[in-house]
Amino acid sequence: MTLTEANLQAQATWNNKACGSRSSDEQAPEYAEMRRRRYEEDDPWVPSALDFPSMNGKHVLEIGHGMGCDLATAALSGAITHGIDLTPNHHEIAKRTFDVLGLPRDLHLGNAGQLPFSDHSMDVVYSLGVLHHTDNTEQCIAEAHRVLKPGGTFVVALYHFWSLPHLSLVGRGCLTGKLFRLGYHNLLSTIEAGADGITIKPLVKLNTRRSVRRLLSDFSHTDVSIHGLAYSKLRAIGPMLSPAVGKALERRWGWYVVAHATKK
């Protein structure tokens, strides 16, 4: 497996603290707790974006499977699941998750720029919150396209430039001087839990609706939307927001550009 500096930084970040865990000391949570955190607290938009029941009987690949919550949910919904992740920590946790649930597993430790799957072998490929951490995003998307069957679906979520999390981070960085001490790109890395922008500084790239459409130009029927504003956690204003206002803010200032695309 060929690793770039961005790949090595990603491994360092999530080997230190698995994505979705609450601390670097926490043991891997049970699937039920993973599911509760992900779908009730952190990312409640994910189940509708992936539509797990529609995966029944389909070959489904997750690029960047993390601790395995989404992929296990797909498998429990009847999907024939496959996964790949760059981080050994994630890979081992996901294997344990599948084993505890008694699910068959086809999980690979590897680089998404070189997928170990045959051409036209998948009905659905998805990658949520992963491909903005690699310096070869275009190659990873090309690989997703390669392994999809004609008419297959690709779902991708990438960080949104015009988002409240990004703008808030930069604003705080200006006020505290952290932006000037670390520089913009290193400051941006600190949005990931456990990253300090000095020794642990994962690559973080931001996108707009337009740039995501450009990345997916080889696909057809691309639908793009904005998700992922946990406004209920914003202590100053969260309790005062009605659900309707919160959803409106999320559609404009959410943290993820989410695209559903079909292979021609």
CATH code of the domain covering residue 80: 3.40.50.150
Residue 18 has pLDDT above 90, yes or no: yes
Contacts of 153 (CB under 8 A, 6+ apart): 123, 124, 125, 260, 261, 262, 263
Percent of the chain with pLDDT over 90: 85
pLDDT-based confidence at 235, cuts 50/70/90? very low
Total Cβ atoms within 10 A of residue 101: 14
Measure the CA–CA gap between 134 and 147, rounded to whole angstroms: 19
pLDDT value at residue 210: 97
Assess if residue 192 is contained within a domain: no
Domain count, the chain: 1
The whole-model pTM stands at 0.94
Q: Is 234's pLDDT higher than 90?
A: no
For residue 226, tell me if it sits in a domain: yes
Whether 239 is in a domain gets the answer: no
Question: What single-letter amino acid sits at 182?
Answer: L
Distance CA 50, CA 124 (A): 10
186 part of a folded domain: no
Reported confidence tier of residue 192, pLDDT bands at 50, 70, 90: very high
Between strands 59-63 and 122-128, the pairing is parallel
232 has a pLDDT exceeding 60: no
Q: What is the mean pLDDT of the chain?
A: 93
Give domain status of residue 187, yes or no. Answer: no
- Cα–Cα distance list, 68 to 8, 12, 107, 244 (Å): 21, 19, 10, 31
Do the bridges between strand 148-159 and strand 219-227 make them parallel or antiparallel, or are there none, so unpaired? unpaired
Residue at token pair 């996108």:
207
The confidence score (pLDDT) of residue 23 equals: 82
Residue 238 confidence (pLDDT) = 54
Mean pLDDT for 185-197 is 95
Q: Taking residues 13-39, report their average pLDDT.
A: 90
Using a pLDDT cut of 70, give the percent of the chain over it.
95
In a domain, 182, yes or no: no
Residues in Cβ contact with 218 at an 8 Å cutoff, skipping those fewer than 6 apart = 142, 145, 264
**Domain span holding position 126:** 5-159+206-230+256-263
In a domain, 240, yes or no: no
Residue 16 lies in a domain: yes
